[in-house]
Every structure is written in structure tokens, then in C-alpha cells.
Amino acid sequence: MIFRNAAGLGLDALLLGPRCADPFYRRCVRVSVGHVLTVPFTRLEPWPQALDRVRSAGFTLAALTPDPSATPLAAFRPGPDDRVALLLGAEGPGLTPEVLATADIRLRIPMQRGVDSLNVASAAAVAFHHLGPGRSTSDQPPAPQ
């Protein structure tokens, strides 16, 4: 589903940790509606040290977490030329403390009372929409006159 969301929301590529499921596994190809074949991806190793190479390439590392102390997603407004690498964790355990410590910013999607988080594919879609290539100053409401 993350590949399908990435394709639909115009992401450039996905960077996978070494323990991520094989995207070419038959069920993954089916669930992605074949988009694992169209969205570029690579595995980053060694993990998480390879994230330093991503940062060195000019990306802000943004970790998605349900932690209430994290910055609300809507408050993070990168500029149209800023490059963001969104870090997503596994369903359940999320990102490791080591990866969270590597991030430049920790972001959360505010939830209604009694719900702690979305599943990773849904959370990815929300964050991809907010941070993806469709974001621009023209998408912002006009400034009050």
C-alpha cells in the first residue's frame, strides 16, 4: 500500500530498511496494484547509519511517530524546494529509538481521543499528501487582506 500511495501522491522514490518486506513478494505487488514496478526504490544499508548519506544529500529527515511530544504534521511547512525524507516505522513497534534520535524532526498526525495512531499505510498517505510534490504556496489559502 505504501508503494501505491507513493505512486498516487507523486513521490520520487522509496528508501527501504534492510528488514522491510520484499516489495516483489506476490502479495505486495498485488496490493500495490503493480506500483512496486513503477516507483523507484532501494534498500539503505547499513541501517540506520545510511540515513546520514540521505541527510548529506540535502534531505531533512522527518520521523513519523504517534508520540504526543512530536510536532503536529500540519505545523511542519517545508518550502517548495526543500527535500524531505519521511521515516516510517513498522506497524506496532514503529521507529526504533536510534532512528528517532537520527531524525531532524519528529512529526505526528493528531488523533481523536481514544485513537493512538493510524496504520502505517494510512499514516504514510496523509504525510505524503502533506509533504509531497503537490505542496506549494499556491495550495495555501490566500493571506487575509
SS3 content of the chain, % helix, strand, coil (to 5): 30, 15, 50
All domains of the chain in start order, with CATH? 2-136 (3.40.1280.10)
pLDDT one digit per residue (tens) for the chain, 145 residues = 999 999 999 999 999 999 899 999 999 999 999 999 999 999 999 999 999 999 999 999 999 999 999 999 999 999 989 999 999 998 888 999 999 999 999 999 999 999 988 999 999 999 999 998 876 444 555 545 5
Name, in order, each residue with C-beta under 8 angstroms of 138's C-beta and a sequence gap of 6 or more: none
* pTM of the complete model: 0.87
Name, in order, each residue with C-beta under 8 angstroms of 140's C-beta and a sequence gap of 6 or more: none
